[in-house]
Amino acid sequence: MTDPQIVLAERVQQALADAIGAEYADADPMIRPSQFADFQANVAMSVGNRLRRSPREVAEAIRAQMSDFPGVVEVSGPGFLNITLDTSWIAGQASQMLADPRAGVSQATPQRIVIDYSAPNAAKEMHVGHLRTTIVGDAMSRIMEHLGHTVIRQNHLGDWGTPFGMLIEHLLDIGEDAAVAQLEAGAGTEYYQAARAKFEGDETFKERARTRVTTLQSGDPETMRLWHVFMDATIRYFNKVYTMLGVTLTDADIAGESMYNPMLEKTCDDLQAMGVAVMSEGALCLFPPGFTGSDDKPLPLIIRKSDGGYGYASTDMAAIRYRVDDLKVDRILYVVGADQALHFRMIFAAAEQAGWLPDTVSAEHIQIGMMLGKDGKRFKTRSGASVKLTELLQEAVDRATAAIDDRGYDEVTKAEIAHAVGMGAVKYADLSISHDSEYVFDFDRMLSFTGNTAPYLQYAQARIRSIFRKAEADPATVQGPIRIGEDAERALALQLLGFGAVVDQVADLVEPHRLAAYLYATATAFTTFFEQCPVLKDGVDAETRASRLALCALTLRVMETGLDLLGVPVPDRM
């Protein structure tokens, strides 16, 4: 672990324990970036107050225990510790990081982690909200795998339920070929609306749809075949979106609602038998403790409707049991819209009550904030109609093409760069702000070449690659050692050392925007370095050149690895 903040935190804790007493060994040392030094530690303030001793005195006692620390420790103000690391220590750590094939990223104790993400509904459009859960879930999958965890991707498609009666009947009306063509093209919403209109206006169609629900539930082979025709075409459209985005989901990750259908009866019966589910107003309900409605009455989670039908909650109860018992997971991440927060809190509480979610398994709802249009309302096209995702993504690529049109690339290269920039921009926009905040979809901002955007980061890494092309050197074999003379070199090296800790933190907290912020700060530190410290210019001595090339190589590794972990493509040149 090379991260200076962590090294420092451990060292301060140790000094605290030595100076004050072992019972303080795990007190938070409160390391913060500082204006006056590299870092400041504020722990003496709180410990002093707790012991009724002067914090300054406590700080002095800690400082006295840190005489062997590779840096300068000073006490300032009422009792802050200002800590400046030795530049030679930073250079040594950076050189070591360059030699480390994992670039400072740890190998975690492996866990089995379900990541439930994307999950569009076959009976409705796949909308920008699903785009965001897809992108955030995919980044988390990549990050967890890179740390050495086993990730089980679960695409919990909405592919079952009563609407499928009318959807199948509509398919018979318009013919299989026409239906398939429409669904593959992403016109699921239009298809659904046409079926719905008939269902509402045509009594015989309604009757047919109802009967079809029953034959579907009973597993009638011909009905199942039609359902497959419908679903396969729909999934081909979803896959088009995934392919454009470069998302790692495959058909093997599909675990839609239909998969749980055969388990629902037993799920309900078992819950009822143990008394966790009870009948209320004709429906079988869960009343997880601690949830009450506005009228102070316990809030139900209906798992079997009075007509015997099952719904979203029934499926999620079956799914959580399956994931814990059969998939044997340690952690489940539900990357789903923030508007479902209550649903998941109730599901987790009910599963705990039933003993299906032991303390050893952590279930977390990773709330995805709503996507807004520039007008601050839910995202729509100008005409107010819903937006086909493939068209939206294509627009990003087209705009990126226009932005790089004058750079003199041949058509093939141009298309490659535009794809990377367009998709990178859309993905990074989702990843660079915290996943639970609402977010305004704005092409101009996400495609900007300045600021915290994909094009800026992609450009920074492409520029480093071009340095190596010019130097005719391979960044993978550059050796260093890294020596530090200039402030900008020191700042860049210090920044690079923090990479591993950020990745760990992102995995713990499930907050990919922290990695984005880190990469942006790294690109900014690199830009300053590159302005102030010539690498290939005449007059730069061989040692300095080798050291600066090594810093470039380490920056490139961090940028490439980091962007790859976020799922943002990295073009060779830009």
- What character string, x for contact with ligand ARG (CB under 6 A) and - otherwise, covers 491-530? ----------------------------------------
What part of residues 364-383 is at the interface with ligand ARG (CB under 6 A)? none
Q: Does 249 bind ligand ARG (CB under 6 A)?
A: no
Which is closer to ligand ARG, CB of 116 or CB of 489? Answer: 116
Which is closer to ligand ARG, CB of 24 or CB of 227? Answer: 227
Which is closer to ligand ARG, CB of 169 or CB of 316? Answer: 316
Report how far residue 432's alpha carbon sits from residue 301's, in angstroms, rounded to the nearest whole number.
35
Which is closer to ligand ARG, CB of 134 or CB of 432? Answer: 134
The only residue of 249, 268, 319, 460 in contact with ligand ARG, by rule CB under 6 A: 319
User: 292 in helix, strand or coil?
Assistant: strand
Range in contact with ligand ARG (rule: CB under 6 A) among 170-178, 233-241, 334-342, 487-495 = 334-342
Which is closer to ligand ARG, CB of 160 or CB of 499? Answer: 160
Q: How far is the CB of 380 from ligand ARG (least distance, A)?
A: 17
Which is closer to ligand ARG, CB of 80 or CB of 441? Answer: 441
Report how far residue 481's alpha carbon sits from residue 95's, in angstroms, rounded to the nearest whole number.
5
Q: How far is the CB of 517 from ligand ARG (least distance, A)?
A: 27
Q: How far is the CB of 120 from ligand ARG (least distance, A)?
A: 6
Q: How far is the CB of 434 from ligand ARG (least distance, A)?
A: 20
Per-residue b/e over 207-217, b at no fewer than 16 CB within 10 Å? ebbeebbebbb
Q: How far is the CB of 232 from ligand ARG (least distance, A)?
A: 18
Enumerate residues 6+ apart whose C-beta is below 8 A from 257: 156, 157, 158, 159, 160, 161, 312, 315
Q: Before 481, cis peptide (omega within 30)?
A: yes
Report how far residue 316's alpha carbon sits from residue 313's, in angstroms, rounded to the nearest whole number.
5
The only residue of 31, 119, 363, 523 in contact with ligand ARG, by rule CB under 6 A: 119
The strand pair at 371-372 and 362-368 is best described as unpaired
Enumerate residues 6+ apart whose C-beta is below 8 A from 279: 285
Range in contact with ligand ARG (rule: CB under 6 A) among 7-15, 197-205, 330-338, 368-376 = 330-338
Range in contact with ligand ARG (rule: CB under 6 A) among 62-70, 89-97, 299-307, 331-339 = 331-339
- What character string, x for contact with ligand ARG (CB under 6 A) and - otherwise, covers 120-139? -x------------------
Closest by Cα among 477, 449, 444 to 463? 449
Which is closer to ligand ARG, CB of 13 or CB of 121? Answer: 121
Which is closer to ligand ARG, CB of 334 or CB of 530? Answer: 334
DSSP-derived secondary structure for 116-174: E----BTTS---HHHHHHHHHHHHHHHHHHHTTPEEEEEB--B--STHHHHHHHHHHHH
Q: How far is the CB of 156 from ligand ARG (least distance, A)?
A: 4
Q: How many CB atoms lie within 10 A of CB 115?
A: 27
Q: How far is the CB of 9 from ligand ARG (least distance, A)?
A: 37
Per-residue b/e over 498-528, b at no fewer than 16 CB within 10 Å? bbbbbbbebbeebbbbebbbbbbebbbbbbe
The only residue of 38, 169, 316, 511 in contact with ligand ARG, by rule CB under 6 A: 316
- At which residue do the structure tokens 């675990």 appear? 255
Which is closer to ligand ARG, CB of 132 or CB of 557? Answer: 132
Q: How many CB atoms lie within 10 A of CB 543?
A: 10
Closest by Cα among 459, 396, 456 to 432? 456
Closest by Cα among 147, 148, 160, 149 to 115? 149
Which is closer to ligand ARG, CB of 120 or CB of 569? Answer: 120
DSSP-derived secondary structure for 2-41: --HHHHHHHHHHHHHHHHH-GGGTTS---EEE-SSSSEEE
| Residue 95 half-sphere exposure toward CB, CA atoms < 13 A | 14
The encoded tokens of residue 6 equal: 């962590």
Q: Are 337 and 437 in contact (CB under 8 A)?
A: no
Which is closer to ligand ARG, CB of 42 or CB of 118? Answer: 118
User: 276 in helix, strand or coil?
Assistant: coil
The only residue of 158, 298, 309, 481 in contact with ligand ARG, by rule CB under 6 A: 158
The only residue of 336, 497, 502, 558 in contact with ligand ARG, by rule CB under 6 A: 336
Q: How far is the CB of 506 from ligand ARG (least distance, A)?
A: 22
What part of residues 98-117 is at the interface with ligand ARG (CB under 6 A)? 116
Report how far residue 287's alpha carbon sits from residue 118's, in angstroms, rounded to the nearest whole number.
28
Q: How far is the CB of 37 from ligand ARG (least distance, A)?
A: 47
Which is closer to ligand ARG, CB of 121 or CB of 267? Answer: 121
Q: How far is the CB of 116 from ligand ARG (least distance, A)?
A: 5
Report how far residue 143's alpha carbon sits from residue 390's, in angstroms, rounded to the nearest whole number.
26
Q: How far is the CB of 334 from ligand ARG (least distance, A)?
A: 6
Q: Which amino acid is at 184?
A: E
The only residue of 146, 149, 153, 156 in contact with ligand ARG, by rule CB under 6 A: 156
Q: Total number of residues binding ligand ARG (CB under 6 A)? A: 10
The encoded tokens of residue 262 equal: 């055969």
Sites of contact with ligand ARG (CB under 6 A): 116, 119, 121, 156, 158, 316, 319, 334, 336-337
